[in-house]
C-alpha cells in the first residue's frame, strides 16, 4: 500500500524514505538496518527494567512494614542501614546486567 491516510494528510512511501534519509544524514545512522534481534534486545532490556522496578517496590513495602513495627531507634537504624545496603547492591547488579545486555545488543555482528 503506497499511500496512507492520516489526519487529512497523505503520506507516501517516498516522503517517508526521504524523511528517514534526512535523519540518517543528521547522524542517526541506518535506521532501516535495525534488525529484529536488535528490536528484541531492546524489548528484553525494557522487561528487565520493569522487573527490577517491581522488585525494588517490593523491598520498599517490606522496609516500610518493618519500620512501622520497630520498637526502638536502634532497630530503626538497623532497618535503614540494611535497606540502603541492599538497594545499593541491587542497583549495582542491575546496572551490570543492563550494561551486558547493551553490549550484546550493540556489538558488531561478524559477517559470514
**Domain ranges across the chain:** 1-33, 35-112
pTM score? 0.63
In a 13 Å sphere around the CA of 46, the CA atoms on its Cβ side amount to: 6
Q: What is the pLDDT of residue 13?
A: 72
Q: What is the pLDDT of residue 75?
A: 96
3-class SS at 81? helix
Q: What is the pLDDT of residue 112?
A: 40
Residue 14 pLDDT more than 60? Answer: yes
Rounded Cα–Cα distance for residues 44 and 90 (Å): 18
∠ CA 42-54-66, nearest 5°, is: 155
Q: What is the pLDDT of residue 110?
A: 52
**22-39: average pLDDT:** 65
Q: What is the pLDDT of residue 28?
A: 56
Q: What is the pLDDT of residue 1?
A: 45
pLDDT tens string 53-102: 999 999 999 999 999 999 999 999 999 999 999 999 999 999 999 999 98
Residue 29 pLDDT more than 90? Answer: no
Specify which residues 9 forms β-bridges with.
6
Amino acid at each position: 500500500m503506497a499511500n496512507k491516510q492520516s489526519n487529512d494528510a497523505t503520506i507516501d512511501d517516498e516522503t517517508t524514505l526521504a524523511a528517514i534519509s534526512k535523519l540518517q544524514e543528521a547522524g542517526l545512522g541506518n535506521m532501516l538496518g535495525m534488525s529484529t534481534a536488535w528490536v528484541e534486545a531492546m524489548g528484553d532490556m525494557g522487561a528487565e527494567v520493569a522487573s527490577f522496578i517491581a522488585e525494588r517496590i517490593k523491598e520498599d513495602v517490606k522496609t516500610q512494614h518493618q519500620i512501622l513495627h520497630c520498637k526502638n531507634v536502634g532497630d530503626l537504624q538497623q532497618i535503614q542501614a540494611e535497606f540502603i545496603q541492599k538497594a545499593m547492591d541491587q542497583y549495582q547488579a542491575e546496572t551490570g546486567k543492563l550494561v551486558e545486555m547493551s553490549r550484546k545488543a550493540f556489538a558488531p555482528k561478524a559477517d559470514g
